[in-house]
Structure 1
Amino acid sequence: MDNRSDIWRSVDAVKPRFMALSDKVWATPEICYTESRSAAEHLAELRHQGFRVTETVAGIPTAMMGEWGEGGPVIAFLGEYDALPGLSQEAGVAEPRPLESGGHGHGCGHNLLGSAAMLAATAVKDWLAAHRLPGRVRYYGCPAEEGGAAKTFMVRSGAFADADVAISWHPHSFWEVAVAPSLANTRADFIFTGRTSHAAASPHLGRSALDAVELMNVGVNYMREHMPSDARVHYALLDTGGIAPNVVQAHARVRYSIRARDLPGMNELVGRVHNIARGAALMTETRVEMRIISAVSNLLPNTPLEQALYLVMEELGPPPFDETDRDFAAKIQSTLSEQDIGAVYHAIGMEPTDRPLADFLVPLDARRNPLIGSTDVGDVSWVVPTVQVHAPTIAIGTPLHTWQVVAQGKSPAAHKAMVQVAKAMAGLGVKALTEPALIDAAKADLAKRTARTPYECPLPADVAPPLDMSRT
């Protein structure tokens, strides 16, 4: 029985519906925990495909799970569908052209991500049904990856407790097994409260919360010299206390994203940032409250799954791009700098080429110099053996979180890449279902990695999903 050819045909048989799903989600971009229309489209498709549906996973209205099958191993496919603020963009044009001023856009390609993951899950479901084999396939619809840590809340709720393998992917410049590490990350608001007064007549009676925020930011900037080189700290001002310069600001809020290589390092850095906030409050005679919004763990690799996935991708080959695809990608590349393109090649340890789209598989043992971010897939990887794919949905060098990603989000090249990555994920899913030794090896790898440092949820026990974080 040629399992991989069978499963790839299963993907091709249903792919039009999932390309259409991706385009629907692209057209209704919704940010962190507000993905009601996108979630509704995913729920409707799960029901159409015959999955048993669970809504409001972990108390999150836009999180879901669809399951099919009985007995056997549980193969999980992770999907996302949240967009980013301020990236509205017309599709298919190689110049910035917002559809809506200040509107949202799928600048990380999550419209494709969720659709391809469900396509893979559906193909495995159909394969199990055709061969009358035991096994369960699940699609997890995961909102709010962009800072909301929905998967961390889902892990904490036990949603992945009985899964045997988790498979996911992400839009990217290259066709590769995603072996780069990720950073643990905490998002926290620092809320300062002072005392208002007339800034000219009685400034001595006021205590400025805005001064405290500014002093905190200066203190954190000085700290940067004295923290690990792979740690990252960023901030955004959420509340500056008003627009009147002649009023001493009694309230101000700043949101920090604090990243480090692992959870202990992150927790230490969070404590240092909190101490700086306390110092700023002391200097300005204000009060400060630190409020954790979300948190994610660093990603754990899984060597057996990565090796198995690489063999599937090698056999499958890259997406079948044509000259029209390459022409549009070249136009997108013309909007990028040489540094943009050089950076992604440097990340995989390869000299730049003149290819506009990736038509090659990055070797598993490439000498990488990874560009490291954070993802809530990290928490899944601590409790379930997890592996991810990168698929070339964008012109080589396109930075994520940009209008250029949105412009390519409905392109024929993006559709071809999402179908090809669905085949790779489905192929690995079938391999896991038919080769128990692979699951055993993946679980042994995870057990070894967590033997000395068991999983500890980075979220404080009293922190609930921040369903209103996008409206703050």
Structure 2
Amino acid sequence: MKRIQLSDVESHWDAIRSRIEDGFDMLWNTPELPCMEFGAAQALTGWLEAEGFDVERRAVGIPTAFVARKRIGAGPCVGILAEYDALPGLGNCACHTRSEPPSEAGHACGHNHIGPANIGAAIAAVRSAQALGIGGEIKVVGCPAEELLWGKVALFVKGAFEDCDALLTSHGDYQNGAISRPCQAMATGEFVFVGRSSHGGYTGKVNALAGAEEALFALRDFKERYPDVPVKHIIRGDMKIAGVVPDDVRLYFSIRHLHVERAMDVYDAVIDTCKKVAQQCGLDWRHLPISTCRGYLANDMLANVLYDSLNDVGPPKWSDADKDWMHQLAEQCAPAQPFELDETVRLYNKGQDYYSQDDGEVSWRIPLGRVNWAYPKQVPIHHWGWTALSGHAASRAGPHMASKAIALAAVRLLSEPRLINDAKSELMSRIEGKCIGAPRLGAWTTLTQNPQSFWNGTWTEGECSEGLA
């Protein structure tokens, strides 16, 4: 079969461009926290259903997950991942300054782009394959709770990816290109110090806050013991006024390393330290694991397919007005820094990325290819500025590029199954001799039945001391 050209796909993508952009705006205007993306899941599945996809809602028992598939004859199954969750506390208007947010949550990681852009790619790929008489299946997996590093781990454990031969996805970053380099593995969970509420002036109290502070003091030497492993935390709890000692205080930990085994070892050491401190302080405790996840396993074969597609599509087509708007935003976010915006397309296969993504676990079992699109380097990710940009039309050119490239790459993979076979062979070569156990998955009942308890800090799913058993 002749090589699939951009012209074979582009008209099908152009026909749904406005629908993709409507999706960008709809998700941005109604941001939803991880595992509470009910509106997003409903809108995206409705769109896919209208396009003739067979849709399974509440996939594998996760209320805001879905699987949508369209088979068009014999051939491989190419999976395309859709994300749509927002971040807490980062709502903002689509403007150049920090503003009173329209809602507490905000798309400060641009997932309002990922879901519609990747679904648009899937629809364009199906239409193109049908027109060309190419067999195979396009499968969209709707993935909630990426920001908890939980959604795709849970989907994997419960079998949502079992029939996929290759996976494609995209994300915003600071470069345009195909990614074939690792990111960080991560282990994450909460440790709860449980005491008794009392007046702040009473000295005979069993003080949960004091226990948490003692634990953080004890963990200070982890920087010397484990200099290669950053141990990050936030304090959660119902603390409103200094005159009230809270019943419980929660430490929410995230621990990253290139190798998941190292991250898990340090996470376990953190939890052991917290348990010892709680016991010494006469406190009960709970350990509430969330997940562990490997970093992305590079796949040069899929990256090259995506890179070829990106070269055909070309870099993002920002207008002068788009760049001017982004420049003004960048000046607010980083006043002393020169404006930097990547306007090239490259293959990134050296080094490693600083972040973690929950598709990393899946990439060790199924070949996964990723496209990144660029935002200005002065606009921090997980920041109000990223929320502002992801809600403005100036941000659209990047996800447009990624969506077209994924659509083109998906059709090329269906038309040339040997490319998928080569990607699978590369994966097997990369994992040869490695022991790949199952990931740790916690919070299943909480996040599938009562996610609000996660966000208001009342969930209790995990292990606990004898006093709470």
- TM-score if structure 2 supplies the norm length? 0.90
Instruction: Give CA-to-partner distance per residue, 1:339-368, whole Å, 9 cap, x none.
Output: 8x6xxxxxxxxxxxx665322123445x65
Question: Which segment is superposed worse, 159-168 or 210-219?
Answer: 210-219
2:83 aligned partner: 80
Q: 1:249 to 1:397 in 2, by over 3 A?
A: closer
Structure-1 separation of matches of 2:14 and 2:239: 55
Q: How does 1:197-236 map to 2 (within 5 A)?
A: 200=201, 203-204=203-204, 206-229=205-228, 231-236=229-234
Which residue of structure 1 aligns with residue 465 of structure 2? none
Q: Deviations over 1:196-233 (max 9, x none)?
A: 566656x34x322211111111122221221142x222
Match of 2:21 among 15, 19, 22: 19
Question: Does residue 1:373 correspond to 2:355, yes or no?
Answer: yes
SS at match of 1:83: coil
Counterpart Cα distance in 2 of 1:194 and 1:227:
30
Q: CA offset at residue 124 of structure 1?
A: 0.8
Which residue is 2:160 aligned to? 159
- Alpha-carbon distance between aligned partners in 1 of 2:189 and 2:442, rounded to the nearest angstrom: 15
Identify which range, 299-308 or 462-471, moves more after superposition. Answer: 462-471
Please list, as runs of the form range in 1=range in 2, the aligned pairs for 1:70-219 lying within 5 A after superposition: 70-91=73-94, 93-100=95-102, 103-195=104-196, 200=201, 203-204=203-204, 206-219=205-218
Q: Which runs of 5+ in 2 are unaligned?
A: 458-469
* Larger displacement relative to structure 2 (191-200 or 281-290): 191-200
Q: Given the superposition, is the C-alpha separation of residues 317 and 460 from structure 1 closer, same or farther in structure 2, using an over 3 Å criterion? A: closer
Paired residues of 1:263 and 1:458 also in contact (CA < 8 A): no
- Contact kept? 2:211, 2:283, Cα under 8 Å: yes
Equivalent residue for 1:279, pick from 267, 276, 287:
276
| SS of 2:140 mapped into structure 1 | strand
* CA deviations over 1:33-91 (Å, ceiling 9, x no partner): 11111111101111111100011112111100110014310001111001111122111
> How far 1:282 moved relative to its partner?
2.7
* Range moving further from structure 2, 184-193 or 271-280: 184-193
* Aligned residues of 1:329 and 1:357 also touching (Cα < 8 A): no
- Select 1:266's aligned residue among 259, 263, 266: 263
Offset of residue 452 of structure 1: 2.0
Shift of 1:464: 4.2
Aligned-pair distance for 1:273? 0.3
Distance 2:20 2:191 in 1: 42
Aligned to 2:382: 401
Q: Cα distance, 1:453 vs. partner? A: 2.3
3-state DSSP of counterpart to 1:16: helix
2:36 matched residue in structure 1 = 34
Task: Identify the residue that residue 65 of structure 1 maps to in structure 2.
Answer: 67
Say whether residues 1:433 and 2:414 are aligned partners: yes
TM superposition shift of 1:463: 4.6
Is the Cα contact below 8 Å between 2:80 and 2:119 reproduced in 1? yes
Are 1:458 and 2:439 counterparts? yes
Q: 2:315 aligns with which of 315, 318, 321?
A: 318
SS of the residue corresponding to residue 278 of structure 2 reads helix
Corresponding letter in the other structure for 1:211 = A
CA separation of 1:265 and 1:338: change in aligned 2, threshold 3 A? farther
Structure 2 contact 81–118 (Cα < 8 Å) conserved: yes
Q: Is the 8 A contact 1:294 1:466 kept in 2?
A: no
Partner of 1:345: none
2:456 corresponds to: 471
Give the letter for the 1:251 counterpart: D
Answer whether contact 1:383 1:455 (CA < 8 A) is retained: no
Structure 1 residue 305 corresponds to structure 2 residue 305: no
Q: Deviations over 1:109-135 (max 9, x none)?
A: 000011110011001110121122210
CA RMSD, 1 decimal: 2.2
Letter of the 2:383 counterpart = T
- Give the aligned partner of residue 348 of structure 1: none
1:445 aligns with 2:426: yes
* Pair 1:207–1:313, CA change in 2 (3 A): same
Inter-CA distance 196–357: structure 2 relative to 1 (3 Å threshold): closer
1:240–1:249: 8 Å Cα contact kept in structure 2? yes
User: Hey, what's the Cα distance between the residues in 2 that align with 1:74 and 1:321?
Assistant: 33
Matched position secondary structure for 2:231: strand
Aligned residue in 2 for 1:384: 366
1:290 pairs with one of 287, 292, 316: 287
Cα pair distance change 1:462/1:199, threshold 3 Å: closer
Superposition pairs of residues 322-361 of structure 1, within 5 angstroms: 322-337=319-334, 356-361=340-345
Offset, 1:141? 1.0
Could you tell me whether the CA contact under 8 Å between 2:168 and 2:370 is conserved in 1? yes
Counterpart contact for 1:78–1:142, Cα < 8 Å: yes
The residue type paired with residue 88 of structure 2 is P
- Cα–Cα, structure 1 residues 242 and 25, in superposed 2: closer, same or farther, change >3 Å? closer
Provide, for residues 411-448 of structure 1, a one-character-per-residue CA deviation record: whole Å limited to 9, x for no partner. 33322222211111112111211222211111011112
The answer (yes or no) to whether the contact 2:88–2:105 under 8 Å persists in 1 is: yes
Deviation at 1:248, TM superposition (A): 5.2
C-alpha deviation, 1:23, in angstroms = 0.7
How much has 1:195 moved relative to structure 2? 4.6
Change (3 A) 1:314 1:213: same
TM-score, with structure 1 as normaliser: 0.89
Q: Does 1:413 align with 2:388?
A: no
For 1:157, the aligned partner's letter is K
The verdict on how the C-alpha distance between 1:363 and 1:302 changes in structure 2, with shifts beyond 3 A counting, is: closer
Q: Which moved more, 1:17-26 or 1:218-227?
A: 218-227
One-letter code aligned to 1:295: T
User: Which string of whole-angstrom CA distances, capped at 9 and with x for unpartnered residues, describes residues 351-386 of structure 1?
Assistant: xxx665322123445x65x55111101112122100
Aligned length: 450
Query: How far apart are residue 148 of structure 1 and its match?
Result: 4.8
1:242 positional shift = 6.5
Match of 2:390, SS? Answer: coil
